[in-house]
């Protein structure tokens, strides 16, 4: 799993190349008016290097975390639990939304920490979202609500043709409409501080990423669109909106449960016609589940360490120069995300699908 500094170096290099290209264009325009300069390649190299160094210095700057309120959904386990711990260590006041706030293991652990408020928060429940908003508003720290992290999510493994409508509806209710509900409720508070909104999606929200990922990918594509439009709409108010696209961290979180996945696959298989089942083959559910679990277990694509994701969210919340998009993933998934948006579909699908 790549270290956070690789992402910073990539952004700095990109900024440097943009600065170099801009310098060459400016040089060409000035030469139209009779000015003479040295080689354009030298200008490009100097401007690129300077731009990259300035970008690296700017990237290193962090806002003070102490006294800033941050709401995080999905803190029962995985990314949310680790992020709540980290933000508390930095001095933030954390509002940790949990699905099992009464006696869940994550909630019990977080209650022991200073500056952490554990909230009952099912992101599909309008009443709970509103109650969370009221609690946060009544318990704001001195620096107000600085950040909201939409992290809560669920997973369903199913080829699209097999998917049961109720499973797809539940998936969208949590993964796409959940962030929408929470964002609508808390944006007024974020505008007061010109704060940060961070949505955790997936590499599967940008690229076809594996067997049985279709309906999950649909919900994450929707969350990506939500994030991109919110970024544009909220820019005028000074609210920065970022998306986090993790790679394969299933082994480090509780989002994938093999028995539950198989039960859903078998139910979807049972909804197919005889002709459809014959087309897929008699071992349909087991074949899909095996291919999916093999992908998750591949040593080149999975990680037991969630720190790259936590570091990316921390950067999105506290960097003086946050990125609009972060891809905390291994090299394979990073290339998958990049190539999917830069190559022809036929080439991408030939290589990765």
DSSP 103-129: T-HHHHHHHTSTTEEEEE--TT-HHHH
At 307-316, the pLDDT tens digits run 999 999 999 9
The mean pLDDT of the chain is 84
Q: What is the pLDDT of residue 318?
A: 98
Q: Are 47 and 55 in contact (CB under 8 A)?
A: no
DSSP 162: G
Q: What is the pLDDT of residue 331?
A: 66
Alpha carbons 235 and 163: distance in angstroms, whole number: 37
Q: For the chain, give the percent of residues with pLDDT over 70.
A: 71
Is 216 a catalytic site residue?
yes
Q: Is the pTM of this model over 0.85?
A: no
Alpha carbons 70 and 145: distance in angstroms, whole number: 6
Q: Pick the catalytic residue: 5, 216, 280, 326?
A: 216
> Inter-axis angle of helices 345-352 and 331-342, to 10 degrees?
160
Q: What is the pLDDT of residue 88?
A: 98
pLDDT exceeds cutoff 90 at 25: no
At 247-276, the pLDDT tens digits run 877 666 666 667 777 788 888 888 889 998
Q: Phi/psi of residue 2, each to 5°?
A: -70, 150
List the single range of 18-27, 72-81, 156-165, 179-188 with lowest mean pLDDT.
18-27
Alpha carbons 307 and 254: distance in angstroms, whole number: 16
């Amino acid at each position: 799993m790549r270290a956070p500094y690789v992402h910073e170096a990539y952004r700095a290099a990109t900024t440097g190349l943009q600065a170099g290209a801009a310098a060459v264009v400016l040089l060409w325009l000035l030469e139209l008016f009779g000015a003479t300069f040295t080689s354009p390649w030298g200008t490009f190299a100097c401007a690129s290097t300077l731009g990259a160094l300035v970008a690296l210095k700017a990237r290193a700057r962090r806002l003070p975390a102490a006294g800033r309120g941050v709401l995080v959904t999905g803190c029962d386990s995985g990314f949310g639990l680790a992020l709540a711990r980290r933000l508390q260590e930095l001095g933030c006041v954390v509002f940790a939304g949990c699905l099992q706030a009464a006696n869940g293991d994550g909630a019990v652990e977080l209650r022991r920490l200073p500056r952490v408020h554990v909230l009952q928060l099912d992101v599909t429940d309008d009443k709970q979202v509103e109650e969370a908003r009221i609690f946060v508003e009544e318990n704001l720290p001195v620096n107000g609500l600085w950040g909201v992290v939409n992290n809560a999510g669920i997973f369903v493994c199913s080829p699209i043709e097999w998917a049961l409508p109720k499973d797809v509806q539940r998936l969208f209710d949590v993964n796409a409409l959940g962030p929408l509900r929470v964002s609508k409720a808390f944006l007024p508070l974020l505008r007061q501080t010109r704060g940060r909104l961070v949505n955790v999606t997936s590499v599967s929200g940008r690229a076809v990423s594996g067997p049985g990922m279709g309906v999950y990918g649909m919900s994450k594509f929707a969350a990506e669109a939500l994030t991109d439009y919110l970024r544009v709409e909220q820019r005028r108010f000074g609210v920065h909106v970022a998306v986090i696209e993790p790679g394969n961290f299933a082994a480090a979180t509780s989002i994938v449960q093999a028995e539950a996945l198989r039960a859903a696959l078998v139910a979807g298989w049972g909804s197919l016609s005889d002709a459809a089942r014959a087309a897929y083959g008699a071992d349909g559910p087991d074949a899909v589940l095996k291919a999916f679990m093999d992908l998750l277990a591949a040593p080149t694509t999975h990680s037991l360490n969630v720190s790259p994701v936590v570091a990316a969210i921390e950067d999105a919340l506290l960097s003086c120069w946050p990125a609009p998009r972060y891809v905390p993933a291994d090299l394979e998934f990073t290339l998958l995300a990049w190539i999917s948006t830069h190559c022809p579909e036929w080439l991408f699908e030939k290589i990765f699908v």
